[in-house]
Structure 1
Amino acid sequence: MASDFAAARLNMVESQVRTNDVTDVRLHDAMRAIPRESLVLADKAYQAYADAAVEYAPDRYLLRPREVSKLLQALKPMAGERALAIAAPYAATVLETLGLSVERFDAEDLSAIPGANYDLIIVEGAVTRAPDSWLAALSLGGRLGVIEREGPTGKAALYTRAEDGVGRRTLFDAMAPVLKGFEPAEGFAF
């Protein structure tokens, strides 16, 4: 069984990561080494390397390998940086493997994050829009990678703090389950 997972891990990197313009070999190496199946519910282990979001706790999901690898690459993680992984156990493990100091945050209220002055924040789940509390927790030059979604498809976004404020750039179309508490507000329609 372990060799099946090792083969699936290699296949994931070759078919879902590298083929989607993720060229950072440090990410390839980390993703080939991390047993993704150990981070999900035991009865979901067989789905760990599928091209799907996989439940790791009730109403919490690991991003698809394509999304998490593209988001990580856009964040340009560097060893020694301080990171916050919000509902992101797999991304946290990848960042730790790359030499970052990672604080994991997977509480009920994800908008009230601990601490501040993070060089990097990553979220494995979609939100309607990144909350101000997440943006305020970025250090100067800090980056936030998150998927924002109001309809069936989301957009991965990269936020960066500069001296004159926080800028936002859309990266790519992305699919991810919306995190509980970050669902779009129901609107009135005729």
Structure 2
Amino acid sequence: MDEFERERRMMVDGQIRTADVTNRRLQSALLSVPREIFLPRAKHAQAYADAEVEFAPGRWMMRPRDFAKLVHAADVQPSDLVLDLACGRGYSSAILSRMGETVVAMESDGEMVSKAEDALSKAGADNVAVIEGDLKTGSQSQGPFDVIFVNGAVEEVPRAWLDQLADGGRLAVVVRKGPIGKATIFIRSGLGVGERVVFDCTPHVLPGFEREAGFVF
């Protein structure tokens, strides 16, 4: 067992299982996917820390506990089509690829798309398609989706994401309107969408997803 494998097991035992993440398929995915290969080489030593890790200016890999709890709450099934928004270098997509049937991973930056494709290939995640596009509009042509997962917080949820959920589909996202974010699951039922808050956390807000300032009189 190499050092990273040892740290990965410590992460699952010390940060994930203790946070009531009981899904065995998710635990197995977290144990099998090498988190470090989805970070710049200079950040490999931080891969399994109990903290967010900045992998590009203004972009952060979610804290392992928060990420795992949000995936757990999304209840990804083996037959699900998943949209992974703001996938970064692809770590979330690799985990989700072991949970669902097919993952569409989306990034707004072409260079990031290339890095994600390379890392996902190394991880053997051959059921992931990485695409470039506007994160706020999602990927209507690929949907509707059983699960939409968002890597980071937003201050407002774009309507386009909710519109791309299949009936019974779940949107897993952290809504952050103040110092504390609310990890929230939005669930489509027919023409309506319900929501439930599952836990508090404080991931960084994704660039461009800050609420627009209103007029002050």
Smaller-chain TM-score bracket: over 0.9
Cα deviation digits, residues 105-148 of structure 1 (max 9, x gap): 01153102112200001011000121101101101110000001
Distance 2:171 2:210 in 1: 19
Alpha-carbon distance in 1 for matches of 2:165, 2:18 = 31
Match of 1:154? Answer: 181
Comparing 2-11 and 33-42, the one that deviates more? 2-11
Q: Which amino acid aligns with 1:158?
A: I
Asked if the contact 1:38–1:45 (Cα under 8 Å) also holds between the matched residues in 2, the reply is yes
User: Is the CA contact (8 Å cut-off) linking 1:17 and 1:66 kept in structure 2?
Assistant: yes
Find the residue that maps to 2:186 and give its secondary structure.
Answer: strand
User: SS in structure 2 opposite 1:141?
Assistant: strand
**Which one of the candidate residues 111, 121, 136 is aligned to 2:136?**
111
2:85 alignment partner in structure 1: 86
Shift of 1:52: 1.1
C-alpha contact (below 8 Å) 1:130/1:148 kept by paired residues = yes
Q: Supply the distance in 1 between the matched residues of 2:213 and 2:32 (Cα, whole angstroms).
A: 42
8 Å CA contact 2:156, 2:210 repeated in 1: no
What residue number does 1:179 align with? 206
Q: How does 1:40-51 map to 2 (within 5 A)?
A: 40-51=39-50
Shift of 1:55: 2.1
Counting matched residue pairs gives: 189
Q: How far apart are 1:58 and its partner, in Å?
A: 3.0
Q: Calculate the aligned-residue CA RMSD, in Å.
A: 1.8
**1:30-41 equivalent positions in 2, closer than 5 A:** 30-41=29-40
Q: Secondary structure of the residue that 1:180 maps to in structure 2?
A: coil
Distance 2:13 2:156 in 1: 32
Superposition pairs of residues 48-59 of structure 1, within 5 angstroms: 48-59=47-58
Identity of aligned residues (%): 41
* Cα distance change on mapping 1:6 and 1:188 into 2, 3 Å: same
Would you say the 8 A contact 1:60–1:87 is kept in 2?
A: no
Query: When the two structures are superposed, what TM-score results if normalisation uses the length of structure 2?
Result: 0.82
CA contact (8 A) 1:111 1:134 kept: yes
1:62 to 2:61 alignment? yes
Contact 2:169–2:188 under 8 Å retained in 1? yes
**CA deviations over 1:59-115 (Å, ceiling 9, x no partner):** 222111111111111111111210000013222111112242000001153102112
Aligned equivalents of 2:79, 2:61: Cα separation in 1: 24
Matched letter for residue 16 of structure 1: Q
Q: Relative to 1, partners in 2 of residues 1:10 and 1:180: Cα closer, same or farther, differing over 3 Å? A: same
Counterpart AA for 2:41: A
1:13 shift after superposition: 0.4
Per the alignment, in what secondary structure is the counterpart of residue 119 of structure 1? strand
Q: Distance in 1 between matches of 2:52 and 2:67?
A: 10
Structure 2 segments unaligned to the other structure (5+ residues): 110-133
